[in-house]
Amino acid sequence: MILSPWKAHGRLGAARLALGIVLVLGLVGCGIGHIQTLREAEEAFSRAAERENRGRLDPNTPLSSMAESASGYRVAAQMVNDLVATQREELRRDNLLCTAYLVQAMSLWRLSEHDAAVQVAAQGRDCDPPTSTTDTTPRDRAVLYAIPALVRIDQANALAVNPTASEAEFDKAKSEIDRAVRILEEAQRMASRDHPLRGYLMTSKLAALRVWQVAITREKLVDPKRQEQQAAFNERARKAWLEYRDFTTCQLGRAGDPSVEDWRKLFQLAAPETPVACDQPPGG
């Protein structure tokens, strides 16, 4: 599974931040029943995510396309639910139980069934294989851990784009953002220093900060609170952006990645005066 970055979105009225998700299947022994079923669930999820991504980037996409995406997520979630109910131990034995929970939790999240997504992610924390010699992938465990953060970002975003939101609702959204950022930072520490998943978690954190930025401009804040919030946002956004820029350049070896500049412009940050300084060759 490869998780692509959140798409930087410049419109303040965007109802949801689009998440690009593509599943690349690496399952072997696909003739085995439970492995084949999990593979089919992953494929259903991938098709739904790709369709959703195209739809969110194309304003002319018909509503039927988004309905098809929702149907695909529903199929994937139900397939995994039935699979875990009947072949949980087989999945655990083959070190696939975490992957199964991940597909189900992500599908439920995209369906906006937030409570169910968080519940499945919590169940997935007990997905280790039966022997200590077989490790679960850091990707699965880290993303399962991050699911509550993704839910909180969605919930905060719903408050941020509400044109009649009050200052109290801003405070609630800000609290959700703060907690989401902390969870994402904890999830980052579960992956190795150069694991590509860290880039996904970093862009999820940038998306959370983007919700904060939108909320400051939309909610009924008055000075000095608005000025205080803007100053605090600028500081945290710059720190998070520099972290993403340095990771993209030094760990992934993608100097000049356009997403880095897109986020800087979206956050209205001044261009840094000094170039990235890697402590080892980029990509090394």
Domain ranges, ordered by start, for the chain? 2-130, 139-267
Q: What is the pLDDT of residues 10-54, one digit of tens each?
A: 433 333 343 444 444 445 445 578 999 999 999 999 899 888 888
Q: What is the pLDDT of residues 82-103, one digit of tens each?
A: 999 999 999 999 889 999 999 9
Mean pLDDT of 105-117: 96
Residue found by looking up tokens 């034995």 in the block: 93
Six token digits for residue 90: 């087989």
Residues 6+ apart with CB under 8 A from 247: 198, 199, 202
CB 192: neighbour CB atoms within 10 A?
Answer: 10
Spatial separation of the C-alpha atoms in residues 126 and 113, rounded to whole Å? 21
Q: Alpha-carbon Rg of the chain, whole angstroms? A: 20
Q: What is the pLDDT of residues 116-125, one digit of tens each?
A: 999 999 999 8
